[in-house]
C-alpha cells in the first residue's frame, strides 16, 4: 500500500523542505522505498538539504514534458538504498507544470514506491495547486507564530476544499523555555486554534542548521532532540502510537520534575 503525501504550510520559511527531507530520510532508514518530489519549481532546495545538488541531470519538468523517462530523473540518495529525489527545475517557473501532469507523475511513482512525499512551495497559487493535485494526504507545517498559524489555517481550508481531508500538523521550531515563560504559544494553544490532528512537534535545535550545512538530515543524528522528534513522526506515519516527547526535560522545571519523580 502506497501513500502520496504533500508537505505544505502556506507561509515560507517554517520548515517544509526540512520536514520533507527528514521524513523521507527517516522512512528510508527504516527500509521503506521513498520518492521525494521537490515541487518548488524555480526555487529548488530539497536537493541541497539532502546533499544531492551535484548529481542532478534531469528534473521534474523534463519528466512531465516527456524529455526523459521518470527513472532517469530520479536521483538515488547517497546514504539510503530506498530513497530517491525528483528535483525541481531551477530555470523554469510554476506554470511549467500543471495539476494533471502532477497527478500522472504521482500515479507512476506509487507503482514503485511505498511513500511519495511532495515538498510544496510556499503560497497558495499555482505551485500549491500543482503540489497537492496528486496527493491523498497532507501534512501541514507551522511554527508557533501568529503569521505561520494564520497561514496554516488558510491552507487547511484550501486542502479541505480540494478534498484533502484530515490533514495532520507538525509544529516546528518550538522553544519549550519560551512556552514555559508564557512567551510562545504552546502545542495546546495551536491545536486549539487549528483544530486538526497533531502529528508531531519538533523543538528548535541548532543541530538542524549543522546537519543542513553538511547536506545531512538531522533525523539520522541519534543524539539530537530534533532528530528524535522526526524519528517519532516517522513512526507515527507508519501507524505506530508514539507518545509525544517530553520537551521540558532539558529545562529547569523538567529536571526538577525528574528529580521529584514526575515523568
Partner 1 sequence: MFDFLLKIFGRETGGSKNVAKERLRLVLVHDRAGVSPELLEILKTELIKVISHYMDIDEQALEVNLETSDNQVALVASIPVRGMKRLNGGLASSI
Taking CB under 8 A as the criterion, the residue among 195, 222, 239, 259 binding partner 1 is 195
Residue 150 binds partner 1, judged by CB under 8 A: yes
What cell numbers appear for 96 in the block? 511549467
For residues 38 and 87, what is the distance between their CA atoms, to the nearest angstrom? 5
d(CA 80, CA 101): 28
Site for partner 1 contains 185 (CB under 8 A): yes
CA distance 156 to 252: 36
* Closest CB 251 distance from partner 1, rounded Å: 9
Q: In the set 66, 182, 239, 261, which binds partner 1 (CB under 8 A)?
A: 182
Question: Exactly one of 103, 180, 235, 236 binds partner 1 (CB under 8 A); which one?
Answer: 180
Under 8 Å between Cβ of 166 and 140? no
Q: Determine contact, residues 220/214, Cβ cutoff 8 Å.
A: no
Q: How far apart are CA 42 and CA 137, in angstroms?
A: 24
Shortest CB 150 distance to partner 1, Å: 6
Helix, strand, or coil (residue 102): helix
DSSP 153-207: HHHHHHHHHTT--S-EEEEEEE-HHHHHTTSS--HHHHHHHH-SEEEEEEE--HH
148 neighbors 37 (Cβ within 8 angstroms): no
| Contact flag: residue 186 with partner 1 (CB under 8 A) | yes
Total residues binding partner 1 (CB under 8 A):
22
Among 63, 184, 233, 247, binds partner 1 (CB under 8 A): 184
The site string for partner 1 over 83-122 (x = CB under 8 A, - otherwise) reads ----------------------------------------
Quick check: 204 and 175 in contact, CB under 8 A? Answer: yes
Is 9 a binding residue for partner 1 by CB under 8 A? The answer is no
Closest CB 10 distance from partner 1, rounded Å: 11
Binding-site string for partner 1 from residue 44 to residue 63, where x marks contact by CB under 8 A and - marks none: --------------------
Q: Does 183 bind partner 1 (CB under 8 A)?
A: yes
174 binds partner 1 (CB under 8 A): no
The site for partner 1 (CB under 8 A) is made up of 145-146, 149-150, 153-154, 157, 179-186, 189, 193, 195, 252-253, 256-257
Amino acid at each position: 500500500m502506497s501513500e502520496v503525501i504533500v508537505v505544505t504550510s502556506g507561509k515560507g520559511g517554517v520548515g517544509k523542505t526540512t520536514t520533507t527531507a527528514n521524513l523521507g530520510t527517516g522512512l528510508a532508514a527504516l527500509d521503506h522505498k521513498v520518492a521525494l518530489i521537490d515541487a518548488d519549481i524555480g526555487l529548488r532546495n530539497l536537493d541541497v538539504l539532502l546533499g544531492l545538488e551535484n548529481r542532478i541531470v534531469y528534473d521534474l519538468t523534463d519528466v512531465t514534458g516527456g524529455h526523459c523517462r521518470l527513472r532517469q530523473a530520479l536521483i538515488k540518495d547517497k546514504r539510503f538504498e530506498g530513497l530517491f529525489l525528483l528535483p525541481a527545475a531551477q530555470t523554469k517557473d510554476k506554470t511549467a507544470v500543471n495539476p494533471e501532469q502532477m497527478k500522472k507523475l504521482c500515479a507512476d511513482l506509487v507503482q514503485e514506491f511505498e511513500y511519495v512525499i511532495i515538498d510544496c512551495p510556499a503560497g497558495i497559487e499555482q505551485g500549491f495547486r500543482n503540489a497537492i493535485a496528486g496527493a491523498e494526504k497532507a501534512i501541514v507545517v507551522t511554527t508557533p507564530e501568529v503569521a505561520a498559524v494564520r497561514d496554516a489555517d488558510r491552507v487547511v481550508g484550501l486542502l479541505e476544499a480540494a478534498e484533502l481531508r484530515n490533514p495532520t500538523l507538525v509544529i516546528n521550531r518550538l522553544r519549550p523555555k519560551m512556552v514555559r515563560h508564557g512567551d510562545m504559544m504552546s502545542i495546546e494553544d495551536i491545536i486549539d486554534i487549528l483544530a486538526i490532528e497533531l502529528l508531531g512537534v519538533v523543538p528548535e535545535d541548532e543541530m538542524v542548521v549543522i546537519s543542513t550545512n553538511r547536506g545531512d538530515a538531522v533525523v539520522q543524528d541519534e543524539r539530537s532532540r530534533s532528530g528524535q522528534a522526526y524519528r517519532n513522526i516517522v513512526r507515527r506515519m507508519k501507524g505506530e502510537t508514539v507518545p509525544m516527547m517530553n520537551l521540558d526535560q532539558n529545562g529547569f522545571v523538567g529536571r526538577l520534575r525528574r528529580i521529584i519523580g514526575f515523568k
